[in-house]
Amino acid sequence: MKVVIIGPAYPLRGGLATYNERLARAFTEAGDTVRIVTFSLQYPDFLFPGQTQFSTEPGPTDLAIEVSLNSVNPLSWWRVGRKLRTERPDLVVFRFWLPFMGPALGTVARLVRGNKHTRVVAITDNVIPHEKRPGDGPLTRYFLSACDGFVTMSRSVLEDLKRMGFGQKPALYRPHPLYDNFGPIKSKSEALAALGLPATSGYLLFFGFIRAYKGLDVLLEAFADARIAALPVKLIIAGEFYEDAAPYEAIIEDYKLEGRIIRATDFIPNEKVADYFCAADLIMQPYKNATQSGVSQIAYHFERPMLVTDVGGLAELIPDGVVGYVVPPAPAAIADAVVDFYANQREVAFAAGAREEKKQFSWPLMVSALKEVAKRSVSLPQQSVYNEHAS
């Protein structure tokens, strides 16, 4: 099968790029011919909250990556779409995560489907964004209406698609596969040494871009609990701020947490990910809303216990009491779980649970789901791509 993946990839950085590159390798391993079409401009600088959109690491040498799509330049949308329409790949996989991308991706999808051969399947991270803005609905529908089918990584997004009126299109739920590309598991002592951290303390890890919906403020308030303060435990905050850090620093100051916090608030390069996860006792995901999380799939790969909040689809993949805790997004509930974890020495049992549970999260299953949705869509009439109802 001839496959094209459209979404972030090198020279862009971050979890979406990592995912798409790993997916491309999975297609290759399945015997398919695949290339990635990524952005020459993903976000205008004034819309990007981080330090840089681009990787400083060497690019992959085993992948075909075309840097040609500009998210705000309609001429590039037409060039990419018309080129793919002529090339006639069997499957184009779009990665959709943000309404802002709806016009660019929706236009490319409409153009490529004009050849009446290529099937367009979207991996929909979210169809209702975490941080809502005016116009989200029309932009999202413009893209979704141009697709032949969908694969979601949480059941909640599958339900969102139905509520938005796209339940008639083929769709499958498949869990987020393991992020198994960050190297092998290290011993805790080796990881701590690499980070320059003493083994005399335990460590909780908050990992990833810092945004309001991820609940770092809730976690900091939980960490101020007197019972946790009495434990030899520190909190590692590893990830770049995608918003103002001042409110978080105010909580740290108000609760006098400074000596118990370890900041690594720059972008974490791929080669350091293993150190942070393998050094941690418990991976903390105190999200206020969520669909799925790549952090969980990194934690599964490294067989680390997790704490997640019972919001959206986040808890679907974390059996409570087996690999960790599923709790309400409230400081008291998070603190109770952390105290239980250390008081009852649950790390070994939860790590064993993660080792068993992670067997179900495979890349071949994701590839099969994408192909299955494409196959199912063939039996349905492919409407005129220029007259589709987009509302």
Please tell me the predicted confidence (pLDDT) of residue 293: 78
Sheet containing 149-152: order of strands: 65-70, 33-41, 2-6, 91-96, 119-124, 149-152, 171-173
Tell me what pLDDT residue 48 has. Answer: 54
DSSP per position, 264-323: E-S---HHHHHHHHHH-SEEEE--SS-S--HHHHHHHHTT--EEEESSTTGGGGS-BTTT
- pTM value > 0.85: no
Strand partners, 241: 210
Q: Give the per-residue pLDDT at 130.
A: 64
* Interatomic CA distance for residues 112 and 78, integer angstroms: 10
> Looking at domain 188-360, which of 3.40.50.2000, 1.10.8.190, 3.20.20.210, 3.40.50.300 is its CATH number?
3.40.50.2000
31-170-362 Cα angle (round to 5): 40
* Phi, psi angles (nearest 5°) of residue 190: -65, -40
Domains 2-177+362-378 and 188-360 share a fold: yes
Distance in angstroms (rounded) separating the CA atoms of residues 366 and 38: 20
Distance CA 201, CA 188 (A): 12
Rounded Cα gap, residues 347 and 262, in angstroms: 21
What is the C-alpha to C-alpha distance for residues 349 and 322, in angstroms, rounded to an integer? 8
In the chain, domain spans: 2-177+362-378, 188-360
Q: Which CATH architecture has domain 2-177+362-378?
A: 3-Layer(aba) Sandwich (3.40)
- At 26-76, the pLDDT tens digits run 999 999 999 999 999 987 765 555 556 667 778 899 999 999 999 999 999
Token look-up 């011919």 returns: 33
Segment-wise mean pLDDT, segments of 10 residues, the chain, 391 residues: 97 90 97 97 68 74 96 96 98 94 97 96 86 84 96 91 92 92 95 97 94 94 96 96 91 96 90 97 92 87 96 86 97 98 98 94 95 87 39 27
